[in-house]
Structure 1
Amino acid sequence: MMFVDDHHFLAEVLASRLDGMNHDTTVIDVEQDILAQIQAHGSEGLVVLDLQLGENNPAGEEFIEPLLGLGFHVLVLSGVTDNHAFARCLELGAVGVLEKTADFQSLISLIDGCLKGESVPPGGSERARMARELDEYRRLLAQSRRPFEALSPKEQLVLERIMTGNSAAEISAEMFVSLATVRTQIKSVTRKLNVTSQLQAVALAHHVGWQPDASAHGSKPEPESPPRLRQSNANNRSPRVRR
């Protein structure tokens, strides 16, 4: 079995205890290529996986499907209580979820039992409840994201720039459009999102985890043409030739 955890000390202590119970354990270095190390140690067995693996790695749950594809079972061991994340892990195929706040001996017993084929938390009714709550969360999240569907590709780009801290003037220069055009688009964004300021628009976008559509990045804003000078009729007349 293998431990994938950025808290190296805890992983080493758990591994050492389980080694003493006749289990062959390995602690993966999360600073190196995680999947490559796991594949180098075999093609089956149990991987005890943390959900937070440091700034340089994706979230732990993103490793579940690749690990299952390699033939491993995955047991989540997390220091953060997030029932929606736990439900997603179970949905992806994790055999169970344990919390690091549990008693140390309980963790050892549960991991040992999992290696012997015993069931691990959560139980059936708890899993069903977590799945229902995840479905409801997703429904509410989709509902809160619906107003963003009304944004045009250019409005999405403007909102994305505002979210990264760009001012209207900076967006104007970057997109090669007038400042008045950018301000008009910002007003349109706030109106469509039913908020009263661009700060509220940014807060709402962060709250629902909004990201611009691929179509927004595919639409490159064209520079605005400078206004044409209107020539007078006198200037348009052909010069008379004196005879």
Structure 2
Amino acid sequence: MTRAGSVRPRTVIVEDHALFAESLDIAMTMEGYDVRRVAVPETAVSASQMVAAVLKQQPRIVLLDLDLGAFGDGSRIINPIARAGANVVVVTASLDQARWGGCIYQGARKVMSKTRPLNEILAVVRRLSQGLPVMDVDEREGLLSLWQAQRRDTEEHRERLDRLTPRERQVLGSLMEGHQVKDIARASVVSEATVRTQVKAILAKLEVSSQISAVGLARSAGWEPPSRSDAS
């Protein structure tokens, strides 16, 4: 409990899992924090709208989930919130350490798994409210290194994808949708041999040995196939 007259920093929770958000809210309120919750919209909104909703609460500490339903990736709002002076703590179900490193790069003070005991999350909030560090140098540098390595891989994969011709991109897009060579040939009114030649060229340019690997590389790079109108 807080001493009489003392006020702990305002903490804002941005979390679309109602039960988890409620647990955080109750625990921090019992410790004397001024807790506010920002509702995650059920329809898509812009990052600037989410940032405005959070900053309107004038938080000192923000507990942020990464996967926010219709809004999508919560990491998009870390940097503007951190630049506004709030301490962002990411609490996520994601176990992707490179993704955690990206959050640190964007300005998060700490990234934690939702599987950690609630008292560990509260301990981080407590240290931040006291102006104390919550991440040592080794942990920080390790996460940033993983993120940087992933970013290099992604950039390299995108460079390979840029080598594809418009037709090869169309074929790769069809493979990503689960279509087989014979289906692609039929839809394009060309022979299967022609499509197999195009697939072979795709594998060579992407430096992979199978269609599955080509699709995986494209998805890992966040590559979007051309739209039907672009391909026509």
| TM-score relative to the length of structure 2 | 0.74
- SS state of the match for residue 74, structure 1? strand
Give yes or no for the alignment of 1:100 onto 2:110: no
Q: CA 1:92–1:204 in structure 2 vs 1: closer, same or farther (change >3 Å)? A: closer
Given that 2:157 and 2:206 are in contact with CA atoms closer than 8 Å, whether structure 1 keeps it comes out as no
- Identify the residue that residue 4 of structure 2 maps to in structure 1: none
1:69-218 paired onto structure 2 within 5 Å:
70-120=84-134, 122-168=135-181, 171=184, 178-179=190-191, 182-195=195-208, 197-206=210-219, 208-212=220-224
Residue type matched to 1:155 in 2?
E
Runs of 4+ in 1 over 6 A off after TM superposition: none
- Identify the residue that residue 38 of structure 1 maps to in structure 2: 54
In structure 1, what is the Cα distance between the partners aligned to 2:35 and 2:67? 21
**Range 164-173 or range 43-52, more displaced:** 164-173
- Identify the residue that residue 17 of structure 2 maps to in structure 1: 7
The alpha-carbon deviation at position 102 of structure 1 amounts to 2.5
- Identify the residue that residue 47 of structure 1 maps to in structure 2: 62
Residue type matched to 1:131 in 2?
L
Given that 1:49 and 1:77 are in contact with CA atoms closer than 8 Å, whether structure 2 keeps it comes out as yes
The alpha-carbon deviation at position 182 of structure 1 amounts to 4.4
In structure 2, what is the Cα distance between the partners aligned to 1:2 and 1:200? 42
Larger Rg: 1
Residue type matched to 2:96 in 1?
D
Give yes or no for the alignment of 1:18 onto 2:28: yes
Q: Percent identity?
A: 28
The alpha-carbon deviation at position 159 of structure 1 amounts to 0.7
In structure 2, what is the Cα distance between the partners aligned to 1:79 and 1:198? 30
In structure 1, what is the Cα distance between the partners aligned to 2:83 and 2:164? 38
In structure 2, what is the Cα distance between the partners aligned to 1:194 and 1:10? 43
Q: CA 1:191–1:97 in structure 2 vs 1: closer, same or farther (change >3 Å)? A: closer
CA-based RMSD: 3.1
- SS state of the match for residue 71, structure 2? coil
The alpha-carbon deviation at position 200 of structure 1 amounts to 4.3
